[in-house]
Amino acid sequence: MFVIVKPTLACNARCTYCAAQHFNPKTPRMKSDVLQSLFQALPVWGEATGQMGQDTVHLLWHGGEPLLMGPRFFVQVLEETRKLRSSNPHLEIRHHLQTNLLLWNADFEEVFKELLGDRSLSSSVDPFDRSRRRLANGGDYFSLWLTQAQRALEAGFRVGAVCVVDDQVAQNPRRAYTFFKNLTARPSVRFNPLYPSRRGETVEGGISSAQWGRFLVELWQIWLEDHRELAVQPLANWYRARRHGTVRGSCDMSGRCSVGFLGVDPDGNVSQCGRAADGEVLHYGTLDNPTGCLESTDRQANQQRMRTLREGHCADCSWWAYCHGGCPLQSWLASGELDGPTFWCEGRKAFFEECLQTPENVEERGA
Protein backbone atom coordinates (compact mmCIF):
# COMPACT_ATOMS: atom_id res chain seq x y z
CA MET A 1 0.00 0.00 0.00
CA PHE A 2 1.24 3.47 -0.93
CA VAL A 3 -0.29 6.32 1.09
CA ILE A 4 0.22 9.91 -0.10
CA VAL A 5 0.01 12.09 3.01
CA LYS A 6 -0.55 15.83 2.73
CA PRO A 7 0.05 17.15 6.28
CA THR A 8 -0.49 20.68 5.01
CA LEU A 9 -1.71 22.32 1.82
CA ALA A 10 0.19 25.51 2.61
CA CYS A 11 3.34 26.26 0.62
CA ASN A 12 6.24 28.71 0.76
CA ALA A 13 6.52 28.76 -3.03
CA ARG A 14 4.13 30.05 -5.66
CA CYS A 15 3.85 27.95 -8.80
CA THR A 16 1.40 29.19 -11.37
CA TYR A 17 -0.06 25.73 -11.99
CA CYS A 18 -0.15 24.39 -8.42
CA ALA A 19 -3.37 22.59 -7.44
CA ALA A 20 -2.85 23.27 -3.74
CA GLN A 21 -3.64 26.95 -4.24
CA HIS A 22 -7.31 26.02 -4.65
CA PHE A 23 -7.68 25.09 -1.00
CA ASN A 24 -8.41 26.82 2.30
CA PRO A 25 -8.93 23.88 4.66
CA LYS A 26 -10.33 24.38 8.16
CA THR A 27 -7.25 22.72 9.60
CA PRO A 28 -4.30 23.95 7.53
CA ARG A 29 -1.82 21.65 9.29
CA MET A 30 -2.24 18.08 10.48
CA LYS A 31 -2.75 17.84 14.23
CA SER A 32 -1.25 15.20 16.50
CA ASP A 33 -4.52 13.30 16.90
CA VAL A 34 -4.94 13.04 13.12
CA LEU A 35 -1.36 11.79 12.79
CA GLN A 36 -2.05 9.17 15.45
CA SER A 37 -5.22 8.11 13.62
CA LEU A 38 -3.16 7.73 10.46
CA PHE A 39 -0.75 5.33 12.14
CA GLN A 40 -3.66 3.41 13.67
CA ALA A 41 -5.05 2.92 10.15
CA LEU A 42 -1.81 1.62 8.65
CA PRO A 43 -2.01 -1.97 10.01
CA VAL A 44 -5.52 -2.27 8.50
CA TRP A 45 -4.39 -0.99 5.13
CA GLY A 46 -1.15 -2.97 5.18
CA GLU A 47 -2.93 -6.22 5.92
CA ALA A 48 -5.39 -5.60 3.10
CA THR A 49 -2.60 -5.40 0.52
CA GLY A 50 0.11 -7.55 2.16
CA GLN A 51 1.66 -10.54 0.47
CA MET A 52 3.28 -13.70 1.83
CA GLY A 53 2.86 -12.70 5.47
CA GLN A 54 4.68 -9.39 5.07
CA ASP A 55 2.70 -6.15 5.03
CA THR A 56 4.42 -3.05 3.67
CA VAL A 57 3.07 0.49 3.74
CA HIS A 58 4.86 3.32 1.97
CA LEU A 59 4.17 6.83 3.26
CA LEU A 60 4.89 9.65 0.82
CA TRP A 61 4.99 13.00 2.64
CA HIS A 62 3.65 15.51 0.17
CA GLY A 63 1.79 18.78 0.16
CA GLY A 64 1.64 21.77 -0.13
CA GLU A 65 5.12 21.82 1.34
CA PRO A 66 5.56 19.17 4.06
CA LEU A 67 8.61 20.84 5.65
CA LEU A 68 6.34 23.69 6.76
CA MET A 69 5.22 21.25 9.46
CA GLY A 70 8.60 21.74 11.12
CA PRO A 71 11.14 19.18 12.39
CA ARG A 72 9.12 18.42 15.53
CA PHE A 73 6.25 17.05 13.47
CA PHE A 74 8.56 14.58 11.74
CA VAL A 75 10.12 13.64 15.07
CA GLN A 76 6.59 12.64 16.08
CA VAL A 77 6.27 10.73 12.80
CA LEU A 78 9.46 8.89 13.70
CA GLU A 79 8.16 8.12 17.21
CA GLU A 80 4.87 6.81 15.83
CA THR A 81 6.80 4.68 13.34
CA ARG A 82 8.90 3.13 16.08
CA LYS A 83 5.83 2.36 18.19
CA LEU A 84 4.01 0.80 15.27
CA ARG A 85 6.97 -1.35 14.30
CA SER A 86 7.26 -2.54 17.89
CA SER A 87 3.59 -3.52 18.15
CA ASN A 88 3.32 -4.87 14.59
CA PRO A 89 6.59 -6.66 13.72
CA HIS A 90 5.07 -8.05 10.51
CA LEU A 91 4.36 -4.52 9.25
CA GLU A 92 7.09 -2.67 7.39
CA ILE A 93 6.84 1.11 7.14
CA ARG A 94 8.85 2.99 4.52
CA HIS A 95 8.92 6.76 4.26
CA HIS A 96 9.40 8.95 1.18
CA LEU A 97 9.54 12.73 0.82
CA GLN A 98 8.52 15.19 -1.89
CA THR A 99 9.72 18.66 -0.90
CA ASN A 100 10.81 21.94 -2.45
CA LEU A 101 13.79 21.90 0.00
CA LEU A 102 13.47 25.62 0.75
CA LEU A 103 13.36 25.02 4.53
CA TRP A 104 15.89 22.18 4.59
CA ASN A 105 18.30 22.47 7.55
CA ALA A 106 20.32 20.41 10.03
CA ASP A 107 17.26 19.56 12.13
CA PHE A 108 15.49 18.04 9.14
CA GLU A 109 18.66 16.22 8.14
CA GLU A 110 18.83 14.53 11.53
CA VAL A 111 15.29 13.17 11.53
CA PHE A 112 15.17 12.22 7.85
CA LYS A 113 18.43 10.27 8.08
CA GLU A 114 16.38 7.72 10.01
CA LEU A 115 12.99 8.21 8.36
CA LEU A 116 14.30 7.87 4.79
CA GLY A 117 15.96 4.47 4.77
CA ASP A 118 17.71 5.01 1.44
CA ARG A 119 18.19 8.75 2.06
CA SER A 120 16.49 9.57 -1.23
CA LEU A 121 14.05 12.43 -1.68
CA SER A 122 12.45 14.13 -4.65
CA SER A 123 12.10 17.82 -5.40
CA SER A 124 10.64 19.87 -8.24
CA VAL A 125 12.77 22.26 -10.29
CA ASP A 126 12.39 23.88 -13.71
CA PRO A 127 15.24 23.62 -16.23
CA PHE A 128 15.00 27.05 -17.84
CA ASP A 129 11.79 29.10 -17.73
CA ARG A 130 11.62 29.88 -14.01
CA SER A 131 8.86 32.47 -14.11
CA ARG A 132 6.24 29.85 -13.20
CA ARG A 133 7.95 28.80 -9.96
CA ARG A 134 8.75 31.59 -7.48
CA LEU A 135 9.07 32.02 -3.74
CA ALA A 136 5.92 33.11 -1.89
CA ASN A 137 7.44 36.58 -1.51
CA GLY A 138 8.15 36.74 -5.27
CA GLY A 139 11.85 35.96 -4.86
CA ASP A 140 14.14 33.70 -6.87
CA TYR A 141 13.19 30.06 -6.24
CA PHE A 142 15.88 28.49 -8.39
CA SER A 143 18.94 30.02 -6.70
CA LEU A 144 17.72 29.06 -3.24
CA TRP A 145 16.78 25.60 -4.46
CA LEU A 146 20.29 25.00 -5.81
CA THR A 147 21.82 25.99 -2.47
CA GLN A 148 19.47 23.75 -0.51
CA ALA A 149 19.85 20.81 -2.88
CA GLN A 150 23.63 21.04 -2.56
CA ARG A 151 23.29 21.05 1.21
CA ALA A 152 21.16 17.92 1.13
CA LEU A 153 23.65 16.21 -1.17
CA GLU A 154 26.56 17.09 1.11
CA ALA A 155 24.62 15.59 4.02
CA GLY A 156 24.45 12.27 2.19
CA PHE A 157 20.97 12.47 0.65
CA ARG A 158 20.10 11.72 -2.95
CA VAL A 159 17.97 14.40 -4.60
CA GLY A 160 15.81 13.20 -7.46
CA ALA A 161 14.37 15.96 -9.62
CA VAL A 162 10.79 16.26 -10.81
CA CYS A 163 10.28 18.33 -13.95
CA VAL A 164 6.87 19.63 -14.97
CA VAL A 165 6.79 19.55 -18.77
CA ASP A 166 5.17 22.77 -19.91
CA ASP A 167 5.08 24.12 -23.45
CA GLN A 168 8.66 25.41 -23.28
CA VAL A 169 10.18 22.19 -21.92
CA ALA A 170 8.18 20.20 -24.50
CA GLN A 171 9.86 22.20 -27.27
CA ASN A 172 13.37 21.74 -25.84
CA PRO A 173 13.88 18.10 -24.76
CA ARG A 174 17.63 18.06 -25.40
CA ARG A 175 18.21 21.20 -23.41
CA ALA A 176 16.11 19.82 -20.55
CA TYR A 177 17.95 16.49 -20.64
CA THR A 178 21.35 18.18 -20.52
CA PHE A 179 20.27 20.40 -17.64
CA PHE A 180 19.24 17.48 -15.45
CA LYS A 181 22.21 15.33 -16.39
CA ASN A 182 24.53 18.06 -15.12
CA LEU A 183 22.45 18.94 -12.08
CA THR A 184 23.93 16.59 -9.45
CA ALA A 185 26.57 13.89 -9.11
CA ARG A 186 24.00 11.04 -9.31
CA PRO A 187 21.29 12.63 -11.41
CA SER A 188 17.75 11.34 -11.84
CA VAL A 189 14.61 13.02 -13.10
CA ARG A 190 10.93 12.29 -13.57
CA PHE A 191 9.16 14.21 -16.32
CA ASN A 192 5.46 14.84 -15.67
CA PRO A 193 3.21 16.63 -18.18
CA LEU A 194 1.55 19.85 -17.04
CA TYR A 195 -2.23 19.53 -16.77
CA PRO A 196 -5.05 21.35 -14.93
CA SER A 197 -6.22 19.95 -11.60
CA ARG A 198 -9.91 20.41 -12.36
CA ARG A 199 -12.18 19.84 -15.34
CA GLY A 200 -12.88 22.89 -17.43
CA GLU A 201 -9.80 24.75 -16.25
CA THR A 202 -6.99 25.95 -18.44
CA VAL A 203 -3.44 26.16 -17.18
CA GLU A 204 -0.76 28.54 -18.42
CA GLY A 205 1.87 26.64 -20.38
CA GLY A 206 -0.20 23.45 -20.61
CA ILE A 207 0.53 20.97 -23.39
CA SER A 208 -1.57 18.70 -25.59
CA SER A 209 -1.45 14.92 -25.70
CA ALA A 210 0.29 15.11 -29.07
CA GLN A 211 2.95 17.45 -27.66
CA TRP A 212 3.55 15.06 -24.76
CA GLY A 213 3.93 12.13 -27.15
CA ARG A 214 6.39 14.01 -29.36
CA PHE A 215 8.40 15.10 -26.31
CA LEU A 216 8.66 11.48 -25.14
CA VAL A 217 9.80 10.32 -28.59
CA GLU A 218 12.56 12.93 -28.80
CA LEU A 219 13.58 12.39 -25.17
CA TRP A 220 13.80 8.62 -25.76
CA GLN A 221 16.12 9.14 -28.72
CA ILE A 222 18.35 11.51 -26.74
CA TRP A 223 18.42 9.12 -23.79
CA LEU A 224 19.46 6.13 -25.89
CA GLU A 225 22.12 8.20 -27.69
CA ASP A 226 23.55 8.97 -24.26
CA HIS A 227 23.53 5.26 -23.32
CA ARG A 228 20.89 5.94 -20.64
CA GLU A 229 23.39 7.79 -18.46
CA LEU A 230 20.65 9.84 -16.82
CA ALA A 231 18.01 7.98 -14.81
CA VAL A 232 14.84 9.15 -16.59
CA GLN A 233 11.26 8.31 -15.69
CA PRO A 234 8.89 7.25 -17.12
CA LEU A 235 11.26 6.09 -19.88
CA ALA A 236 13.24 3.68 -17.67
CA ASN A 237 10.07 1.84 -16.65
CA TRP A 238 9.05 1.29 -20.26
CA TYR A 239 12.58 0.31 -21.28
CA ARG A 240 12.66 -2.31 -18.51
CA ALA A 241 9.26 -3.61 -19.55
CA ARG A 242 10.35 -4.01 -23.17
CA ARG A 243 13.70 -5.61 -22.40
CA HIS A 244 13.05 -7.67 -19.30
CA GLY A 245 9.31 -8.23 -19.07
CA THR A 246 9.00 -6.34 -15.79
CA VAL A 247 6.36 -3.65 -15.42
CA ARG A 248 7.18 -1.30 -12.60
CA GLY A 249 5.30 1.77 -13.61
CA SER A 250 4.37 4.74 -11.50
CA CYS A 251 0.97 4.81 -9.84
CA ASP A 252 -0.90 5.67 -13.04
CA MET A 253 0.72 2.89 -15.10
CA SER A 254 1.29 0.13 -12.56
CA GLY A 255 -2.10 -1.54 -12.82
CA ARG A 256 -2.41 -1.22 -9.03
CA CYS A 257 -3.84 2.27 -8.82
CA SER A 258 -7.22 1.23 -7.45
CA VAL A 259 -5.93 -1.31 -4.92
CA GLY A 260 -2.51 -0.07 -3.88
CA PHE A 261 -2.88 3.68 -3.29
CA LEU A 262 -4.67 6.04 -0.91
CA GLY A 263 -4.38 9.73 -0.07
CA VAL A 264 -4.81 11.50 3.27
CA ASP A 265 -5.31 15.26 3.73
CA PRO A 266 -4.56 17.44 6.80
CA ASP A 267 -8.01 16.84 8.29
CA GLY A 268 -7.83 13.05 7.97
CA ASN A 269 -10.04 12.75 4.91
CA VAL A 270 -9.14 9.74 2.76
CA SER A 271 -9.31 9.71 -1.03
CA GLN A 272 -7.83 7.72 -3.89
CA CYS A 273 -4.58 9.70 -3.87
CA GLY A 274 -3.15 13.20 -3.75
CA ARG A 275 -4.42 13.96 -7.24
CA ALA A 276 -7.93 12.92 -6.21
CA ALA A 277 -7.78 15.23 -3.20
CA ASP A 278 -6.64 18.09 -5.44
CA GLY A 279 -9.40 17.37 -7.95
CA GLU A 280 -12.07 16.80 -5.28
CA VAL A 281 -13.08 13.36 -6.57
CA LEU A 282 -12.89 9.76 -5.36
CA HIS A 283 -13.27 10.50 -1.65
CA TYR A 284 -13.47 7.30 0.40
CA GLY A 285 -14.10 8.42 4.00
CA THR A 286 -11.98 9.39 7.01
CA LEU A 287 -9.22 7.90 9.12
CA ASP A 288 -11.78 7.12 11.82
CA ASN A 289 -12.96 4.19 9.68
CA PRO A 290 -9.98 2.75 7.75
CA THR A 291 -11.84 -0.43 6.82
CA GLY A 292 -14.75 1.60 5.50
CA CYS A 293 -12.37 3.53 3.27
CA LEU A 294 -11.24 0.27 1.66
CA GLU A 295 -14.84 -0.83 1.18
CA SER A 296 -16.11 2.49 -0.19
CA THR A 297 -18.41 2.21 -3.17
CA ASP A 298 -16.35 4.83 -4.98
CA ARG A 299 -13.22 2.73 -4.45
CA GLN A 300 -14.99 -0.37 -5.70
CA ALA A 301 -16.10 1.57 -8.77
CA ASN A 302 -12.50 2.59 -9.39
CA GLN A 303 -11.45 -1.06 -9.11
CA GLN A 304 -13.99 -1.90 -11.79
CA ARG A 305 -12.43 0.71 -14.08
CA MET A 306 -9.62 -1.48 -15.42
CA ARG A 307 -12.04 -4.27 -16.33
CA THR A 308 -14.32 -1.79 -18.06
CA LEU A 309 -11.44 -0.31 -20.06
CA ARG A 310 -10.01 -3.71 -20.97
CA GLU A 311 -13.38 -4.81 -22.31
CA GLY A 312 -14.15 -1.49 -23.98
CA HIS A 313 -11.90 1.37 -25.06
CA CYS A 314 -8.63 -0.53 -24.51
CA ALA A 315 -9.83 -3.93 -25.76
CA ASP A 316 -7.76 -3.84 -28.94
CA CYS A 317 -4.77 -1.93 -27.58
CA SER A 318 -1.44 -3.73 -27.88
CA TRP A 319 0.11 -1.53 -25.19
CA TRP A 320 -2.14 -2.31 -22.24
CA ALA A 321 0.69 -3.90 -20.23
CA TYR A 322 2.67 -0.66 -20.43
CA CYS A 323 0.03 1.71 -19.04
CA HIS A 324 -2.98 -0.29 -17.76
CA GLY A 325 -5.35 2.44 -18.83
CA GLY A 326 -3.51 5.28 -17.12
CA CYS A 327 -4.71 7.52 -14.31
CA PRO A 328 -8.46 7.64 -13.60
CA LEU A 329 -8.16 11.29 -12.59
CA GLN A 330 -6.77 12.11 -16.02
CA SER A 331 -9.68 10.22 -17.59
CA TRP A 332 -12.02 12.38 -15.53
CA LEU A 333 -10.21 15.53 -16.70
CA ALA A 334 -10.58 14.45 -20.32
CA SER A 335 -14.22 13.35 -20.37
CA GLY A 336 -15.79 13.68 -16.94
CA GLU A 337 -15.84 9.88 -16.73
CA LEU A 338 -13.42 7.67 -14.81
CA ASP A 339 -13.90 4.80 -17.27
CA GLY A 340 -12.75 6.62 -20.38
CA PRO A 341 -9.34 7.10 -21.99
CA THR A 342 -6.97 9.47 -20.26
CA PHE A 343 -6.06 12.88 -21.61
CA TRP A 344 -2.61 11.47 -22.52
CA CYS A 345 -3.75 8.26 -24.22
CA GLU A 346 -3.03 9.17 -27.83
CA GLY A 347 0.32 10.77 -27.03
CA ARG A 348 1.48 7.71 -25.11
CA LYS A 349 0.36 5.36 -27.87
CA ALA A 350 2.25 7.44 -30.43
CA PHE A 351 5.37 7.09 -28.30
CA PHE A 352 4.90 3.35 -27.79
CA GLU A 353 4.37 2.71 -31.47
CA GLU A 354 7.40 4.71 -32.58
CA CYS A 355 9.90 3.84 -29.86
CA LEU A 356 9.00 0.44 -28.44
CA GLN A 357 8.38 -0.91 -31.96
CA THR A 358 7.22 -4.45 -31.17
CA PRO A 359 4.57 -4.66 -28.47
CA GLU A 360 5.05 -7.67 -26.21
CA ASN A 361 2.57 -8.89 -23.65
CA VAL A 362 4.94 -8.57 -20.73
CA GLU A 363 2.24 -9.73 -18.32
CA GLU A 364 2.33 -13.15 -19.95
CA ARG A 365 6.11 -13.18 -19.45
CA GLY A 366 5.71 -13.07 -15.70
CA ALA A 367 5.52 -9.35 -14.95
Predicted structure pTM score: 0.91
Ordered domains of the chain (ranges, CATH): 2-296 (3.20.20.70)
- Averaged in consecutive runs of 10 residues, what is the pLDDT profile of the chain (367 residues)? 93 80 62 97 87 77 94 98 93 95 97 93 89 88 94 95 94 96 86 77 85 97 95 92 72 81 94 81 93 92 89 90 87 81 91 79 39
Per-residue pLDDT, 195: 79
- Which residues, other chains included, contact 7 with Cβ-Cβ below 8 Å and sequence gap of 6+? 29, 30, 35, 61, 63, 64, 66, 69, 73, 266
List helix spans (H) across 186-344.
209-225, 235-244, 257-260, 274-279, 290-294, 297-311, 320-323, 328-335
Contact 189, 163 (CB under 8 A): yes
Q: Cα(255)–Cα(16) distance, rounded to whole angstroms?
A: 31
**Cα 5 to Cα 29, 60, 109, 177, 360, distances in angstroms:** 12, 6, 20, 30, 36
Q: 112-122 burial, b if ≥16 CB within 10 A, otherwise e? A: beebbeebebb
**How far is residue 128's CA from residue 171's CA, in Å, rounded to a whole number?**
12
First to last CA, the chain: 18
pLDDT at residue 96, as a whole number? 96
- Residue 143, pLDDT score: 93
DSSP string across 108-131: HHHHHHHHSTT-EEEEE--SS--T
- Cβ atoms of 168 and 176 within 8 Å: the answer is no
